[in-house]
């Protein structure tokens, strides 16, 4: 019996010691687990906050320089005072680009973009012309709204039509289409306001947008006693084949003109692109615009269009042709033909040579046939986002 009792006591002591060791091991495991949980939480926090590091607050900055050399059969003084019948009166045209025979520094553009926080990003485009500086665009844009919604507020170029939202250096031709110049001037529709876009959750790209703008464009609107310009558009893209895509859209703008009546402008756009390989493509782009104005004695209804074909041979070379026409106006025989060839030695630099034959302008009371040969150089230095085709 004493041996049995002693054995029992030893077993109890052993079990107690084992239990104590097990408890300590459990405590250590629990501590380790807590440490891992803390580390995991810290890692998540650091990952989440990494986008808000000091570097994230530094904006992308790009400097764009655009310059040209021009030969034209009309001298500078005459060209500054041209008119386009039914649209632009003598001496009222704005000529910020390619104004003079000889050499032009058209502008320097300082482009800034930065993520603000998880909900906003900010953009600013400062135009530095030889004789003035202007805020081309300055706006904020949402990044995290649900259901395919996006909101933009500030001063921005409208998404009306196809070419309106693009800056001059992103055009395929150095001069603005005549119908855009006639209806809107060189700045097109770019104004203070707010924009809402919705992208449908479908396999086919469908985007609907509405913009409420101040309406300061005097060519077609200009009554700014309150925000008076509304723009609405519907755009869709479809891949017909693996290499052939289309982008179509309709746009509508309504605002008060300087005579107190409404101005309505309608736009239909079509772009088709055939991709041959990574760098070679053929793009056909066209827009037609129709304007109807109230309280206007003559030329209350006007229309025009442009159509262009651009062939990119490879990443360095491209060529193109464009036709502009006014089809409804008091004088409707207004046409312009342009051909161009361009060389991209690198993605951020471009040389472009073009020739245009312009029959749209009246100078000193008579229609002139204007021949222009233009060589332009465009440089983009710094972080600058890609443009759509």
* Phi, psi for 73 (deg, rounded to 5): -85, 10
88-97, 109-118, 152-161, 271-280 — which is least confidently predicted? 88-97
- Which pLDDT does position 331 carry in this prediction? 86
- Which pLDDT does position 303 carry in this prediction? 97
> Does the pLDDT of residue 352 top 50, yes or no?
yes
* CB distance 68 to 106 below 8 Å: yes
Q: Between the CA of residue 1 and those of 5, 13, 77, 219, what are the distances in Å?
A: 6, 18, 129, 117
Q: Which two tokens stand for residue 242?
A: 């693996």
Q: Determine the Cα–Cα distance for residues 118 and 266; give it in Å rounded to an integer.
A: 37
* Residues 6+ positions from 256 with CB-CB distance below 8 Å: 215, 221, 222, 223, 228, 229, 262, 263
Q: What is the rounded average pLDDT of the residues 228-257?
A: 96
Q: Determine the Cα–Cα distance for residues 189 and 157; give it in Å rounded to an integer.
A: 6
* Residues 6+ positions from 317 with CB-CB distance below 8 Å: 341, 342, 343, 344
Kindly report, residue by residue over 164-195, the tens digit of the pLDDT: 999 999 999 999 999 999 999 998 999 999 99
* CB distance 325 to 338 below 8 Å: no
Q: Between the CA of residue 2 and those of 7, 8, 59, 338, what are the distances in Å?
A: 9, 10, 86, 117
Kindly report, residue by residue over 133-151, the tens digit of the pLDDT: 889 999 999 999 999 999 9
Q: What is the rounded average pLDDT of the residues 354-380?
A: 96
Q: What is the rounded average pLDDT of the residues 273-296?
A: 96
The gap between the terminal CA atoms of the chain, to the nearest Å, is 99
pLDDT above 90 covers a percentage of the chain that reads: 72
* CB distance 152 to 57 below 8 Å: no
Q: Which two tokens stand for residue 290?
A: 């129709």
Kindly report, residue by residue over 296-333, the tens digit of the pLDDT: 888 999 999 999 999 999 999 999 999 999 999 988 78
What is the SS3 assignment for 152?
strand
Q: Determine the Cα–Cα distance for residues 367 and 360; give it in Å rounded to an integer.
A: 7
> Does the pLDDT of residue 39 top 50, yes or no?
yes
* Other CB atoms within 10 Å distance of the CB of residue 128: 16
Task: Please list the helix, strand and coil fractions of the chain in percent, rounded to the nearest 5, in that order.
Answer: 15, 50, 30
Split at pLDDT 50, 70, 90, the class of 13 is very low
Q: How far is CA 106 from the centre of its chain?
A: 20
pTM: 0.83
Mean pLDDT score across all residues of the chain: 88
* CB distance 272 to 282 below 8 Å: no
């Amino acid at each position: 019996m004493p041996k049995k009792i002693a054995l029992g006591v030893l077993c109890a002591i052993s079990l107690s010691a084992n239990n104590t060791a097990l408890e300590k091991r459990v405590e250590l495991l629990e501590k380790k687990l807590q440490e891992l949980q803390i580390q995991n939480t810290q890692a998540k926090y650091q990952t989440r906050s990494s986008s808000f590091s000091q570097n994230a607050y530094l904006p992308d900055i790009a400097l764009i320089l655009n310059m040209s050399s021009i030969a034209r059969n009309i001298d500078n003084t005459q060209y500054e005072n041209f008119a386009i019948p039914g649209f632009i009166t003598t001496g009222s045209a704005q000529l910020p680009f390619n104004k003079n025979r000889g050499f032009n520094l058209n502008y320097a553009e300082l482009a800034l973009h930065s993520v603000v926080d998880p909900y906003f990003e900010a953009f600013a485009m400062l135009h530095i012309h030889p004789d003035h500086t202007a805020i081309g665009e300055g706006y904020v844009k949402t990044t995290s709204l649900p259901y395919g919604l996006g909101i933009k507020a500030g001063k921005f170029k409208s998404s009306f039509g196809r070419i309106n939202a693009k800056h001059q250096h992103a055009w395929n031709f150095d001069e603005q289409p005549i119908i855009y110049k006639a209806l809107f001037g060189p700045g097109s529709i770019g104004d203070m306001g707010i924009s809402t876009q919705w992208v449908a959750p479908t396999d086919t790209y469908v985007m609907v947008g509405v913009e409420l703008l101040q309406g300061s464009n005097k060519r077609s609107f200009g009554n700014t006693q309150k925000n008076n310009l509304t723009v609405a558009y519907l755009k869709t893209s479809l891949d017909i084949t693996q290499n052939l895509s289309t982008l179509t859209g309709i746009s509508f703008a309504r605002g008060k003109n300087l005579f107190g009546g409404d101005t309505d402008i309608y736009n239909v756009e079509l772009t088709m692109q055939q991709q041959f390989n990574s760098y070679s493509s053929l793009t056909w782009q066209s827009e037609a615009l129709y304007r109807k104005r109230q309280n206007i004695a003559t030329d209350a209804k006007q229309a025009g269009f442009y159509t262009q074909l651009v062939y990119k041979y490879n990443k360095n070379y491209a060529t193109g042709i464009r036709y502009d026409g006014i089809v409804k106006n008091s004088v409707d025989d207004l046409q312009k033909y342009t051909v161009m060839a361009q060389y991209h030695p690198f993605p951020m630099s471009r040389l472009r040579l073009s020739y245009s034959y312009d029959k749209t302008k009246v100078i000193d009371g008579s229609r002139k046939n204007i021949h222009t040969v233009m060589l332009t150089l465009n440089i983009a230095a710094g972080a600058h986002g890609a443009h759509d085709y």
